[in-house]
């Protein structure tokens, strides 16, 4: 299946346009429902990652022109509905059909996601067991929602970050730098096709300098606008490290990750499972998809082609792994559908 095709099991679904207000903005999205189903359906809130500006999981073309459309969450939503599970996905604030100002920070993103969960729980078409699925930064948002009192019956963490936000930046910058260090041909290619890499590296060096060897948020940042500006995009995660967020998840949890993830290394998936286990969650399932990248799309065999597609996000045009979205659908069906879930389980979350 290529990224712009629908798999054959994505049938018998019905999408409804929805909207809800939150703090001065109207967020719009889609409620995907099993077509012709009687009664209320179990449901999943889909939370996208950094590049998932739009409800289907794609970047907003107004901000990132030329990036291929992959429709990851559209595929997942339709496959869930075909299995009898509803889902809600939405355009981020200031993106797509949603109003408001784009890019107001992680705290705003979490508040908007909480409003989306509350809207889902009030929908008359929805009833029974409920879940959350978070991809990349969406997994972080998911944990923050649970910490704030929203309690799903199951959770899916896809490509979740466990290492520090500084560790993530370092991994990606060093990866890009190694490619540049291959020589003039690589540098020329970057200048033509991925000119943002230079500014990304420069910003990283600024962050390194500001944080210092301890990689701690400076105490005087509030009094220095330059420091605050340099750290604006990562300040929330510096104060609330990703690794510390998983302890709140006490419900059945699927950790799914691409074995060849070039954004969040696959080692983070194993660390996430360990954190869940250490916090007392014994209902954890780990799935590693061989040959898949951060978006669970198949990677090319050629190493140079891999890094070039990563730097330009051309990887979004690649086919999905044969197990996606089926692996997520099968897991959620076992957790949410009465005929598959077995005995009732408690909701996610706990002190």
Residue 12: pLDDT band with limits 50, 70, 90: low
This prediction has a pTM of 0.92
Q: What is the pLDDT of residue 112?
A: 98
CATH architecture of structural domain 13-164+243-341: 3-Layer(aba) Sandwich (3.40)
Q: What is the spatial distance between Cα 196 and Cα 198, in angstroms, rounded to a whole number?
A: 5
Number of H helices, E strands in the chain: 12, 8
Query: Each residue of 297-335: pLDDT tens digit?
Result: 999 999 999 999 999 999 999 999 999 999 999 999 999
CB 157 within 8 A of CB 256: yes
Contact, 266 vs 235, CB < 8 A? no
Q: What percent of the chain has pLDDT over 70?
A: 92
293, HSE (Cβ side, Cα atoms, 13 Å): 23
The CA-to-CA distance between both ends of the chain, in Å, stands at: 42
Question: Residue 4: is its pLDDT beyond 60?
Answer: no
Which residues touch 317 (CB under 8 Å, ≥6 apart)? 2, 3, 4, 68, 70
CB 309 within 8 A of CB 300: yes
* pLDDT level of residue 5 (50, 70, 90 thresholds): very low
Mean pLDDT of the chain: 92
Q: What is the DSSP letter of 320?
A: B
Query: 74-102, pLDDT tens digit by residue?
Result: 999 999 999 999 999 999 999 999 999 98
In whole angstroms, what is the distance from residue 37 CA to residue 239 CA? 45
**Residue pair 190/179 in contact by the 8 Å Cβ criterion:** yes
Q: Model confidence over 34-47: pLDDT tens digits?
A: 987 667 999 999 99
Q: Are 203 and 170 in contact (CB under 8 A)?
A: no
Is the model more confident about 68 or about 224? 68
CA dist 326 → 80, 169, 286, 289, 290 (Å):
9, 31, 15, 12, 15
Is residue 72 within a helix (H) or strand (E), and if so which, with residue range? Answer: helix 72-82
Neighbouring residues of 338: CB distance < 8 A, sequence distance ≥ 6: 128
Domain ranges for the chain: 13-164+243-341, 165-240
Q: Which of 7-11, 43-47, 220-224, 274-278 has the lowest mean pLDDT?
A: 7-11
Q: What is the pLDDT of residue 313?
A: 96
Give the tens place of pLDDT for each residue, 134-174.
999 999 999 999 999 999 999 999 999 999 999 999 999 99
pLDDT band at residue 343, thresholds of 50, 70 and 90?
very low
Alpha-carbon distances of 96 from 5, 28, 137, 157, 259, rounded to whole Å: 21, 8, 19, 25, 31
pLDDT, residue 6, reads 42
The answer, yes or no, to whether residue 204 has pLDDT greater than 50, is: yes
pLDDT confidence band for 342 (50 / 70 / 90): low
Cα distance between residue 227 and residue 247, in whole Å: 31
């Amino acid at each position: 299946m290529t990224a712009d095709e629908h798999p054959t099991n994505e049938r018998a679904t019905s999408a409804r346009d929805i909207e809800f207000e939150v703090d001065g903005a109207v967020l719009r999205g889609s409620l995907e429902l099993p077509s012709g189903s009687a009664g209320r359906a179990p449901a999943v809130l889909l939370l996208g990652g950094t590049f998932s500006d739009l409800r289907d999981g794609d970047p907003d073309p107004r901000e990132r022109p030329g990036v291929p459309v992959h429709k990851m969450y559209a595929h997942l939503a339709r496959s869930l509905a075909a299995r009898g599970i509803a889902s809600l996905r939405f355009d981020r604030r200031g993106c797509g059909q949603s109003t408001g100002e784009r890019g107001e920070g992680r705290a705003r993103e979490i508040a908007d996601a909480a409003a989306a969960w509350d809207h889902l729980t009030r929908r008359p078409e929805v009833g029974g067991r409920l879940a959350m699925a978070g991809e990349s930064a969406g997994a972080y948002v998911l944990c923050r929602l649970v910490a704030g009192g929203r309690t799903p019956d199951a959770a899916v963490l896809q490509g979740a970050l466990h290492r520090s936000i500084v560790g993530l930046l370092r991994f990606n910058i060093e990866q890009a730098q190694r490619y540049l260090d291959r020589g003039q041909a690589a540098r020329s290619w970057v200048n033509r096709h991925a000119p943002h890499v230079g500014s990304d590296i420069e910003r990283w060096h600024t962050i390194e300098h500001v944080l210092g060897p301890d990689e701690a948020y400076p105490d005087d940042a509030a009094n220095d606008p330059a420091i605050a500006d340099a750290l604006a995009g990562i300040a929330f995660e510096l104060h609330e490290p990703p690794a510390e967020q998983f302890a709140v998840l006490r419900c059945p949890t699927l950790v799914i990750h691409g074995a060849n993830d070039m954004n969040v290394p696959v080692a983070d998936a194993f660390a996430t499972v360990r954190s869940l286990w250490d916090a007392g969650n014994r209902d954890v399932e780990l799935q590693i998809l061989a040959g898949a990248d951060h978006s669970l799309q198949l990677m090319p065999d050629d190493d140079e082609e891999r890094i070039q597609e990563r730097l330009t996000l051309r990887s979004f045009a690649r086919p999905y792994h044969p197990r996606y979205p089926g692996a997520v659908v099968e897991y959620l069906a076992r957790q949410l559908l009465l005929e598959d879930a077995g005995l009732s389980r408690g909701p996610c979350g706990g002190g």
